[in-house]
Amino acid sequence: MPRNDPAALPDHVRRIVNEIETDDGDDAPPPEPGRSNGRIESAVRQILIEIGEDPARAGLVDTPARMHRMYRELTAGYHVDVDRLINRAIFEVEYSEMVVVRDIEFHSLCEHHLLPFFGRAHVAYIPKGRVIGLSKIPRIVEMYARRLQVQERMTQQIAELLMERLQPDGVGVVLEATHLCAAMRGVRKPGTVMTTAAVLGLFRRNDKTRAEFFAHIGRRSPEG
């Protein structure tokens, strides 16, 4: 999906994009207000009618506008500029041991049912003379989480971006999440946790490196 003109985004979405991209999103000047074409609101009203509700009743009259605002917020990651997010926060450092950032909380939307999935991300890399500022890794996770997603793809996207931008010896990413599409509908199994992993470079080639990563995040390494 192409990145929209930031000036065309609603204020609340622009603030979220700024928060993901920079450390001072609250201080950024407000953009020109975005304008709704009404199509999302119209679609929500039709859904309410189809399920047997009355979109004109008091409790639902503002629901279409609320849902429009909510989905714009939850999909703000489409509008994030990766270069602005990283913003010269890659530094030349002679350090070659594993860097691990654990327990990054995230919330996303499953693209199959538009229901939330949420959990924690664990990210590691082995620098090759270049490290990235600590706050940038949670922001990268947030950028990809605020899109319509499948957990497997999101895991891979985080790993591939770090591999591309840092060019380290390796990257490892693990996501653990609960999916409401499995808890509320279908098999209806609350408490089920899905774990996905992406390992690149040394994490893929070297069993000891991979085992060290899984030990850091408190999980048993799968058989290499």
Nearest to 173 by CA among 153, 190, 196: 196
How far is it, in rounded angstroms, from Cα 53 to Cα 178?
29
Say what the pLDDT of residue 170 is.
98
Where does the pLDDT of residue 36 fall: very low under 50, low under 70, confident under 90, or very high at 90 and above?
A: low
Annotated catalytic residue: which of 21, 122, 179, 212?
179
How far is it, in rounded angstroms, from Cα 11 to Cα 110?
25
With 0.85 as the threshold, say if the pTM is over it: no
The residue ranges of every structural domain in the chain are 6-80, 89-216
111 is known as an active-site residue = yes
21 is known as an active-site residue = no
CA distances from 8 to 2, 3, 14, 30, 107 (A): 13, 11, 9, 11, 25
Tens digits of per-residue pLDDT, 46-61? 999 999 999 999 999 9
Beta carbons of 115 and 180 less than 8 angstroms apart: yes
Average pLDDT, the chain: 89
Annotated catalytic residue: which of 73, 113, 160, 216?
113
CATH homologous superfamily of 6-80 equals GTP cyclohydrolase I, N-terminal domain (1.10.286.10)
181 is known as an active-site residue = yes
Residue 16 has pLDDT above 60, yes or no: yes
Q: Between 132 and 37, name the one with better pLDDT.
A: 132
179 is known as an active-site residue = yes
Over residues 115-138, mean pLDDT: 97
Beta carbons of 135 and 90 less than 8 angstroms apart: no
How far is it, in rounded angstroms, from Cα 172 to Cα 149?
19
151 is known as an active-site residue = yes
Fold classification of 89-216 is: GTP Cyclohydrolase I, domain 2 (3.30.1130)
Lowest mean pLDDT among 9-18, 96-105, 142-151, 171-180: 9-18
Q: Tokens 């997603």 appear where? A: 149
Q: Sign of the CA dihedral 166, 101, 157, 19?
A: negative
How far is it, in rounded angstroms, from Cα 147 to Cα 138?
15
122 is known as an active-site residue = no
Say what the pLDDT of residue 37 is.
75
Residue 124 has pLDDT above 50, yes or no: yes
Nearest to 120 by CA among 137, 141, 136, 140: 141
Tens digits of per-residue pLDDT, 49-98? 999 999 999 999 999 999 999 999 999 999 999 999 999 999 999 999 99
